[in-house]
Amino acid sequence: MSSEPLLRVENLKTQFFTDAGTVRAVDGISFEVHEGEIVGLVGESGAGKSVASMSLLRLVEHPGEIVGGEITYRGETIFGLEEGPDGELREREDMLSNEAVRDRIRGNEIAVIFQDPMESLNPVFTVGGQLREFIELNRDLSGKEARAEAIRMLREVGIPDPEERYEEYPHQFSGGMRQRVLIAMALACEPSLIIADEPTTALDVTVEGQIIDLVDDLQEKYGTSFIWVTHDMGVVAEICDRVNVMYLGEVIEQAPVDELFHDTKHPYTQALLNSMPRPDRTVGELEPIEGVMPEAISPPSGCRFHPRCPDAREVCQRVHPEPKEVARADGYPHNAACVKHDAFDVGYDESPPLEAEPRLTAGTPGGEDGE
């Protein structure tokens, strides 16, 4: 961690207050994004990746709310709490107002590419009109200049005949072309950080490949940082510099990409990698991860992964591991939240193994208290 990071997220907690109870969708995650790098946010559906990325823009939808932690972008506080005189938590003085986040951060500084290119564009406005609106809103360009810039960006993302396509409506574009339009929107606002929320999940594999190559080229050209949200380890390997693996609202492993793949430190990450087909390994059968991810409304005690973990021991039911540095690579720490590493020293080695069959559901004995 040489220079000051572009974005720093510290112990971020986002919760949803539903009738059934409080859902701890994001439960104390920390990570950093540096200038010019692509940081992966990986995990299964429901791990809290999208909620985490929307929290960065303070766009969590009702009944969700950011309840704790700190988000700092280039020294400005997007979110931060402090203790008031009577012990109550209150928003910090230097936290940006709603208007400031809307006018100065969203689009200008941090742009988003959403998952579903079919639904993300407004069906009743032309593609060019929508692109121009965002450019006018987030840059000092207007009218003709904004239009010219929009056309330039459409060309930049590889849309043929951008002048004609500018006047067309989203339904006249294919899925891959629409995703290119969304990428053009993000880049056209000249942000320093782009959150790509599963941008290729809805596309077929060949188009996915093209889009990833495109982003790779443009990232190099513009030097924009990315947070790449995905469940696909293959995409991670291809595009990311550093990776955060999320499980049930927590970041359980954090490392530079090569380190993560070659020296995996968390059993969940290992399980994710084993469950994925890899051209460099011939296996008879893929190994799925046993069970399903429990719900974030009542996470298992101790380590949240222990009901599905092949390495789980008795101690894993009791001790909730915070991520700790277990190795170092390229000047970055390799953090993992698993007590089997020496850094934890809670008696994993002496602890008896949990009985073979991993449990399939969330309701584990030992109560609800995960912290």
Partner 1 sequence: MGLLRYTLYRLLQAIPVLIGITIITFLLANLAPGDPVRLMLQGQEVDEELIETIEQRYGLDQPLHERYITYMSGLVQGDFGHSIHRNQPVSDLMLSRLGPTLLLVLSAYAFAIATAIPLGIFAATRRNDPADHISRIVALIGVSTPSFWIGIMLILLFAVQLGWLPSSGLVYPWWGPEAYDWIDTWPELLYQTARHLLLPMVALGTLQMATLMRVERTQMIESLQGEYVKLARAYGVPERTILRKHAFQVAQLPIITIIGLNLSTALGGAVLIEYVFNINGMGRLFIEAIQSLDYQLIMGITIVIGTMFVIGVIITDISYAYIDPRVTYGEEE
Cβ 65 to partner 1 shortest distance, Å: 16
Positive or negative, the CA dihedral 316, 264, 31, 251 is negative
Q: Pick one of 28, 35, 65, 125: the residue that binds partner 1 (CB under 8 A).
A: 125
Q: Pick one of 31, 73, 79, 114: the residue that binds partner 1 (CB under 8 A).
A: 114
Binding status of residue 40 toward partner 1 by CB under 8 A: no
Binding status of residue 146 toward partner 1 by CB under 8 A: no
Binding status of residue 31 toward partner 1 by CB under 8 A: no
Cβ 132 to partner 1 shortest distance, Å: 12
C-beta closer to partner 1: residue 72 or 120? 120
Q: Say if residues 338 and 252 touch (Cβ distance below 8 Å).
A: yes
Binding-site size for partner 1 (CB under 8 A) equals 29
Residues 9 and 344: their CA atoms lie apart, in Å, by 23
Closest CA to 190 of 115, 127, 110: 110
C-beta closer to partner 1: residue 98 or 282? 98
Residues 236 and 245: their CA atoms lie apart, in Å, by 10
CA-angle at 272, arms to 315 and 210, nearest 5°: 155
Q: Which segment (75-83, 107-115, 210-218, 307-315) binds partner 1 by CB under 8 A?
A: 107-115
CB count, 10 Å around CB of 284?
A: 4
C-beta closer to partner 1: residue 138 or 224? 138
Binding status of residue 106 toward partner 1 by CB under 8 A: yes
Binding status of residue 189 toward partner 1 by CB under 8 A: yes
Q: Which segment (8-16, 120-128, 222-230, 331-339) binds partner 1 by CB under 8 A?
A: 120-128
Q: Pick one of 65, 103, 190, 216: the residue that binds partner 1 (CB under 8 A).
A: 103
DSSP letters spanning 44-105: -TTSSHHHHHHHTTT-PPTTEEEEEEEEEETTEEEEEEEE-TTS-EEE-TTBPPHHHIIIII
Binding status of residue 102 toward partner 1 by CB under 8 A: yes
Q: Pick one of 137, 141, 276, 327: the residue that binds partner 1 (CB under 8 A).
A: 137
Q: Pick one of 124, 205, 283, 356: the residue that binds partner 1 (CB under 8 A).
A: 124
CA–CA distances in Å: residue 356 to residues 267, 305, 306, 314, 353 = 15, 15, 12, 12, 8
Q: Which segment (33-41, 119-127, 225-233, 234-242) binds partner 1 by CB under 8 A?
A: 119-127
Residues 136 and 147: their CA atoms lie apart, in Å, by 9
Q: Say if residues 302 and 317 touch (Cβ distance below 8 Å).
A: yes
Binding status of residue 214 toward partner 1 by CB under 8 A: no
Cβ 3 to partner 1 shortest distance, Å: 27
Q: Which segment (14-22, 102-110, 211-219, 249-257) binds partner 1 by CB under 8 A?
A: 102-110
Cβ 2 to partner 1 shortest distance, Å: 30
Cβ 103 to partner 1 shortest distance, Å: 6
DSSP letters spanning 101-120: IIIIIBTTTEEEE-S-HHHH
Say whether 287 sits in a helix, a strand or coil: coil
CA-angle at 222, arms to 219 and 226, nearest 5°: 40
Binding status of residue 123 toward partner 1 by CB under 8 A: yes
The alpha carbon of residue 72 and the mean position of all alpha carbons in its chain are separated, in whole angstroms, by 16
Residues 49 and 26: their CA atoms lie apart, in Å, by 8
Binding status of residue 252 toward partner 1 by CB under 8 A: no
Instruction: Give me the residue label for tokens 């303070």.
Output: 58
Question: Which residues here bind partner 1, judged by CB under 8 A?
Answer: 57, 59, 102-103, 105-108, 111-112, 114, 116, 119-126, 133-134, 137-138, 169, 171, 182, 185, 189
